[in-house]
Structure formats: structure tokens, C-alpha cells
Amino acid sequence: MGMMAFSGCDIGDPNTVTFDANGGTGEMEPQTFNGSVKKYLSHNKFTREGFAFAEWNTIPDGTGVRYKDGQEISISDDMTLYAQWAHLYTVAFEANGGTGTMQDQTFTEGVEQAIATNAFTREGYSFSGWDTVPGGDNVLYVDAQKIKITADMTLYAKWTESAPVPVDIVVTFNANGGTGTMQPQTFQSGVRQDLSPNAFTREGHSFVKWTTVADGSGLFYYDEQDIVIYESMTLYAQWRSNGGTQDEGQLNGHAYVDLGLPSGLKWATCNVGATVPEGHGDPVAWGETASKYSYYWDNYAHCNNAYDALTKYCNMSYYGDNGYVDNLTTLESVDDAATARWGAGWRMPTRNDMDELFDNCTRTAVTQGGVAGYKFTGPNGNSIFLPANGYRYLENVVEDNTCYYWTSSLYTANEPNLAYCLIVGPENSYVNISYRCRGLLVRAVCSPAK
């Protein structure tokens, strides 16, 4: 019997992979595969201007079988692999008031990538993020944030003014017709501090405020006002002759007046944080009880750093932090600036209270004690004065010729990041809405027992 010959293992017939640039340029040699033996695909050598190589596909439009560059595969037939391309986009960077240079950055379509770390600087400012418009109010991207983009774009640096380095300065007090003594007071520039309480007196007169000029012009401040100053100065006492008042009484040491409103509600004669009707008092964010240096969502007490991440007073899950909803629509006492600052019995007005004031009183633009504002006169002839001082956004005062006063009522229609407020100014007068993170003034109300 003859001997039978064996050839070892059958590896099958060779098959060929052909590479197609599919819109790109360059050359790649076909690659031979032997039957079911696995082998790594040749690495792509094609290029295409404005595009990055993404992968291989058995169909030009990318709807076939996909293979990664250099993937280990085996094949049983000849096939052609078509290069698949992803757009390349450019991100340019603008200093937007700062200095320095940053190279354009290339992004591949559909690929998440970190924005280049900011290299711009601006004297007296700190970098807070990027926006897509130079004068925008938003910080869309933080430094080195990972993003995907679908078009070329320019990012503009956003800046936050830095507080100056504090230095000791002195405030000197002048009785300006009164009597008594007051020691000079030391401040640190740029640091908030209460003025010393007035210790001067003047027969037949009441203390009104301090001004930087003896005749009452210049900058003005109220007794024990929380202020920020940057240079030494002298403050002159301003006096008002005593006379009759329309005050109905006091609650917890704060005066109120009856305007003859249908509800019988009494309105305070001064803003929360002020001691005289002309005092602006302390602006607060809605639901907060103290003023602060800057007003924005990143330091608002009732959210998680964003307008759509509310942590209290939310009736829509879209605006709640991780879908949070509590359906609270009126400020609780602990979050009511009037109650927290002036004690039980005082509160911020509701929207209905503010509507009643607006609908039943006449409004007149006046200047009282050198302060511009609006006089509300009730049906019985009594009145209150609301100084105009705009609202605070970030570190800025906006529309300082207009009254902005909070109510305690949440705006529940479709955006609970808003709350109702009174707006009275040269162009608009109505009960409207404002973003909760802004700093508005507060005029308190009470219903004292008869």
C-alpha cells in the first residue's frame, strides 16, 4: 500500500482587501489575508483636507460593516474598505478685554474634547469662563470643559472684576450744625462694614443721613449703613426739622403707616436695611435675607449653581435640581427678609398685596431728601416714599432710576426661577417678574392688632 501525503493545516485561499480613499487623497497597497487567519488591517495613509479619518466601512456612505484603523480581522472573500471621514472644526479664542495669545484649536466632529486651558489675563479681573458672544451675560463653558461641536466657533473670555487689596482708610464724622463727638472710624478699602451709629444731636431736628458735602450734595449714606469705600472721607450730618408725621405706630421699633387700603394692611415707612424713608436699604436675592457683593446663580442660596437646578420653591421638575419639586409658592418665614430682619409681625408683601398698593394709590415721581423715587398716596391721603435704586446683577446696579421691589410670591406660570416684583420707573410701572438671583429692595408690611 502506498504512503498518503499530508500538507499540515489548510489555511484556505488568499483574499485581498483593497483600500479606497473615498474623497481623500493618497495611496495604499492592497492587503492580502490567508483564509481564516487573523491579521491586523494596514493603518490608514489617506488624507483629506478639513477632515480627520474616522474608520473603514464596506460601503462608501458608511452604512455597511465598520472596522477601526488597524483592527485585527479575518476575511473569507475579497473586499474593498472605504475611508470614512469626520469634519474638522476650528475653535478660535478672543481675550475680550484681556491680553495674551491662544492658538486656534481643532476639534473632530462627534468627538468630545477638552477646551484649551485659558492663557489670557486681565489686570484686576479673574477669568470666569467662555461665551460665544463678546458682551454676553452667560458663562457657557468653564475652563478646560469637555465639549463636542458641529461648526467653527469663536469663544470670548468672560471676566469678573477682582476685589482690590484692602488698605486702611479713615471716615471722619462732622456734626454739621449739631453737637456731640464721634471718633473717626477705620475701614479697609473694598471691605463691607457698618458705619458707626450717629452720636450727634441737634435741638429741634432729627438726623436724616450722612453726605460727603456739607450742603447735602455729593454721595450720601444712612445711619449704620453697610458700605464699601475705597478712600478716606469726611461725612457731614444732615438734619431735618421736627414736625408732625403721619406714622400710625411702630412694630418691633419700625414705623408703619395706614394708607387706607381695602385690606387694612399697613406699609413700613422705610425699606428693610434703612432707617429713614430716603434710605435705599439692603438689596437681597429672592428668598435670601442679607445683601452681598455679587448677585448671580452661582451664589444663589436656593439653587445648585444654575437657574434650572432649583433646590427650593420649585413647582416644575424641569427647573429643579435633578427634578426637584416642592410646590412652595410663597416664601417661608425663614427666607422672608422682612421677617428675618425685623421680627415676627413683619413680612414681605405678596403679589396680591403689591397689586393692592399699585391699584389703589396714586404714584408720583418725586425727589425727597435729595433721593429720587416715587411717592405712593393712598385713598386716605397718607403716603409712603419708595426710593428708586434699580436692581443688582453680578456686581452692577441696573436701571438705578427705577424702583424694583420684591414680593414674597413665586412666579408659577412656567418659569419658577422668576418671582413677582413691583417695577415703577420713567418707562414702565406694573407688578412684574424678575430673576430670583437678582438683588432687589424690600418694603415690609404688617397687620398690627388694633
| Average of per-residue pLDDT across 78-89 | 93
Q: Which of 127, 162, 197 is the last residue of a domain?
A: 162
How far is it, in rounded angstroms, from Cα 102 to Cα 108?
19
Residues 316 and 416 in one domain: yes
- Mean pLDDT of all residues in 230-248: 74
Which structural domain, as residue segments, surrounds residue 323?
249-446
- Beta strands at 220-221 and 205-211: parallel, antiparallel or unpaired: antiparallel
Q: Is residue 7 part of a domain?
A: no
- 274 and 373 co-located in one domain: yes
- Local structure of 145: helix, strand or coil: coil
User: Are 406 and 425 part of one and the same domain?
Assistant: yes
Residue at 174 is within a domain: yes
How high is the pLDDT of residue 135? 82
Instruction: Give the pLDDT of residue 173.
Output: 96
| pLDDT at position 6 | 37
CA distances from 362 to 59, 301, 322, 336, 422 (A): 77, 36, 45, 27, 14
| Contact in structure between 437 and 245 (CB atoms under 8 Å) | no
- Are the beta carbons of 438 and 299 closer than 8 angstroms? no
Residue finishing a domain among 93, 127, 162: 162
The verdict on residue 290 lying in a domain is: yes
Q: Is residue 6 part of a domain?
A: no
The domain boundary, picked from 98, 130, 162, lies at 162
Residues 6+ apart with CB under 8 A from 134: 94, 96, 156
- Note the pLDDT tens digit of each residue in 383-438: 999 999 999 999 999 999 999 999 999 999 889 999 999 999 988 788 899 999 99
User: Residue 243 has what pLDDT?
Assistant: 45
| Residue 256 resides in a domain | yes
> Are both 275 and 418 inside the same structural domain?
yes
Residues 141 and 144: their CA atoms lie apart, in Å, by 8
pLDDT surpassing 90 at residue 292? yes
Query: In 10 A of CB 166, how many CB atoms?
Result: 12
Residue 158 pLDDT: 93
pLDDT at position 247 = 56
Q: Report the mean per-residue pLDDT for the chain.
A: 90
Q: Is pLDDT above 80 for 35?
A: no
Amino acid at 60: P
Does the global pTM surpass 0.85? no
**How far is 388 from 380, CA to CA, in rounded Å?**
24
The answer on 253 and 212 residing in a single domain is: no
CA distance 130 to 145: 10
pLDDT of the residue at 162: 80
Total structural domains within the chain: 3
Confidence label for 164 from pLDDT (cuts 50, 70 and 90) = low
Residue 2 covered by a domain: no
Confidence of residue 8 (pLDDT cuts 50, 70, 90): very low
Residues 214 and 156 in one domain: no
How confident is the model over 107-134, as a mean pLDDT? 91
444: pLDDT strictly greater than 60:
yes
Regarding whether 307 and 196 lie in a shared domain, the answer is no
Q: For residue 354, what is the enclosing H or E element?
A: helix 351-360
Looking at the structure, tell me whether residues 105 and 237 fall in a common domain.
no
Q: Give a yes or no: residue 3 inside a domain.
A: no
Q: Which residues contact 295 (CB under 8 A, 6 or more apart)?
A: 283, 285, 392, 393, 394, 437, 438, 439
Q: Does one domain contain both 119 and 206?
A: no
Q: Both 153 and 182 in a single domain?
A: no
The CATH code of the domain that includes 110 is: 2.60.40.4270
pLDDT confidence tier of residue 4, bands split at 50, 70 and 90: very low
| Structure confidence at residue 11 as a pLDDT band (50, 70, 90) | low
